[in-house]
Structure 1
């Protein structure tokens, strides 16, 4: 799909993140594909998914653009979202239209810096659409200058140096939207419709919501916690 057409399809819409970790009851490519189908019926314009098997199953179930990642832990790095070329290759093979990767200042496996990794990916896959998962304003600006096609606030509050950030970090959306031409995606800690409305008013290209829609264990915990106050 043409990049500009792809970005236009996402603009102003909701992307649903359909992911389940191995220790969660819904961990299953089939279940993720059905969640994606439900999201499409509900009006989602795209899906975010993790892993070759899940992405492949989802691509067979919906006709929406997919933002693909591979989460994998490495002993020598805190980066775990599409950390190396191996993960990029898996996402490309799965058929995802967009590849998202950690674009923070943290060193990647084998001590690789983001700018080195970006060049490596572009040399091998020059035409892929890349989304930068960032945690700070400075990281977002850097990702835009490097040439990422999208910048997402996914990791605000999840890096060691942003743990004090209040989520959702709509102020980060506003500051990035005013500073860069690259489309900014609102992601991270969105639970209420009014939070999405604020993000869009602040200049978000689209919004990505996961836990509030597709993780019933976490949703249940929030309701139980409200009863136990």
Structure 2
């Protein structure tokens, strides 16, 4: 019998790489995302997070790693956009992902959907369900709805971050202490080896890294903006 304080293992321990590109990015192409997923697998990542039916399907076919599938869909009248309804869950299941991540908050979902209903539907399809939380307080309702693992995807920075605007480690610590029987997935602004180590020390089971690895477009943009800022300040002086 498993001790009640020992988390049931749904996701492998290690680093997941989020292979996504925003609308408008030249990297938003299934071939590019598959290449990134293959590179992540070769480098030792334990899993992939991917968005969109075509990307998910092609990545599932290309790598031998578990894939966390999401669908970002914006509906009028709702702030929930990460796998908001059962329709998106069906799309992810058909694409072949074994794990679905969804907005794990109690915010109003489109079409009269509820967190309980969407989670129950995902479970009926045999999917592992990851709740993307916006605060540690969301965890109770997500667990009551039947989710398997808790993620910090939507949790913003805090004053206790190890670097300004960095990952919210206090949220990881709070969740791992309060819900010691659950896997806690660290996600959101993880960018350095020190971030990864700190997440595991705080109680994370796995860490999802995205922009810092796969979004060359956004990273280049940030560097260019920084350079232009210095140039402008020098001209003023």
TM-score by length of 1: 0.87
Q: CA deviation at 1:121?
A: 3.9
- The reply on whether 1:156 has 2:155 as its aligned counterpart is yes
The verdict on how the C-alpha distance between 1:218 and 1:208 changes in structure 2, with shifts beyond 3 A counting, is: same
The verdict on how the C-alpha distance between 1:56 and 1:119 changes in structure 2, with shifts beyond 3 A counting, is: closer
* C-alpha RMSD over aligned residues: 1.9
What residue is the counterpart of 2:160 in the other structure? none
Q: CA deviation at 1:5?
A: 6.5
1:113-152 matches, cutoff 5 A: 113-122=114-123, 124-125=124-125, 127-152=126-151
Q: CA deviation at 1:144?
A: 2.4
What residue is the counterpart of 1:71 in the other structure? 72
Q: How big is each residue's C-alpha offset from its partner over 1:15-70, in whole Å with a ceiling of 9 and x where there is no partner?
A: 00001123110111111111100111111100000011001111121110000011
What residue is the counterpart of 1:97 in the other structure? 98
Greater shift, 187-196 or 137-146, is seen at 137-146
CA distance in 1, matches of 2:122, 2:10: 20
What residue is the counterpart of 1:52 in the other structure? 53
Greater shift, 75-84 or 112-121, is seen at 112-121
Q: Is the 8 A contact 2:10 2:148 kept in 1?
A: no
CA distance in 2, matches of 1:121, 1:45: 22
- The reply on whether 1:201 has 2:201 as its aligned counterpart is yes
CA distance in 2, matches of 1:118, 1:97: 14
Structure 1 runs (4+) deviating above 3 angstroms are 119-122, 225-229
Q: How big is each residue's C-alpha offset from its partner over 1:108-158, in whole Å with a ceiling of 9 and x where there is no partner?
A: 102433234333444x42x32100000101102321233211110001129
CA distance in 1, matches of 2:216, 2:199: 24
Larger radius of gyration: 2
**Which 5+ residue runs of structure 2 have no aligned equivalent?**
1-7, 158-163, 231-237
What residue is the counterpart of 1:214 in the other structure? 214
What residue is the counterpart of 1:21 in the other structure? 22
Report the count of equivalent residues.
Answer: 215
The verdict on how the C-alpha distance between 1:69 and 1:219 changes in structure 2, with shifts beyond 3 A counting, is: same
Q: Is the 8 A contact 1:6 1:65 kept in 2?
A: no
Q: Is the 8 A contact 2:9 2:183 kept in 1?
A: no
CA distance in 1, matches of 2:165, 2:26: 28
Q: How big is each residue's C-alpha offset from its partner over 1:183-227, in whole Å with a ceiling of 9 and x where there is no partner?
A: 000001111111111110000000001000000011113333443
CA distance in 2, matches of 1:187, 1:53: 23
Q: Is the 8 A contact 1:141 1:179 kept in 2?
A: no
CA distance in 2, matches of 1:33, 1:210: 14
Q: CA deviation at 1:99?
A: 0.5
The verdict on how the C-alpha distance between 1:60 and 1:118 changes in structure 2, with shifts beyond 3 A counting, is: closer
Greater shift, 217-226 or 58-67, is seen at 217-226
